[in-house]
Chain A
Amino acid sequence: EDQVTQSPEALRLQEGESSSLNCSYTVSGLRGLFWYRQDPGKGPEFLFTLYSAGEEKEKERLKATLTKKESFLHITAPKPEDSATYLCAVQAEDFGNEKLTFGTGTRLTIIP
Chain B
Amino acid sequence: EAQVTQNPRYLITVTGKKLTVTCSQNMNHEYMSWYRQDPGLGLRQIYYSMNVEVTDKGDVPEGYKVSRKEKRNFPLILESPSPNQTSLYFCASSLYGPNNRGRETQYFGPGTRLLVL
Contact = CB atoms under 8 A, between A and B. Distances in A.
Given A44-B108, A98-B31, A102-B42, 12 more contacts: A31-B99, A32-B98, A32-B104, A43-B4, A43-B90, A44-B92, A51-B101, A87-B42, A87-B43, A98-B98, A99-B58, A100-B98
A31 B96 CA distance: 14
Interface in B5-33: 31, 33
A43 B110 contact: yes
Interface residues of A, number: 24
Interface stretch (B44-52, B63-71, B78-86): B44-52
Closest 5 CB pairs of A and B: A43-B108, A104-B42, A102-B43, A91-B98, A98-B97
Contacts of B107: 46
A41 interface: yes
Interface of A: 4, 31-32, 34, 36, 41-46, 49, 51, 87, 89, 91, 98-105
Contacts of A89: 43
Nearest to B42: A104
Interface size range on B against A: 20 to 34
A100 B106 contact: yes
Nearest to B106: A46
7 contacts: A4-B42, A32-B101, A43-B90, A44-B108, A91-B104, A99-B59, A100-B43
B96 to A, nearest CB: 9
B98 A31 contact: yes
A105 B40 CA distance: 9
A104 B45 CA distance: 13
A87 B41 CA distance: 12
A75 B22 CA distance: 36
Contacts of B97: 98
A87 B92 CA distance: 15
A103 B90 CA distance: 16
Given A31-B98, A31-B99, A98-B50, A105 B42 contact: yes
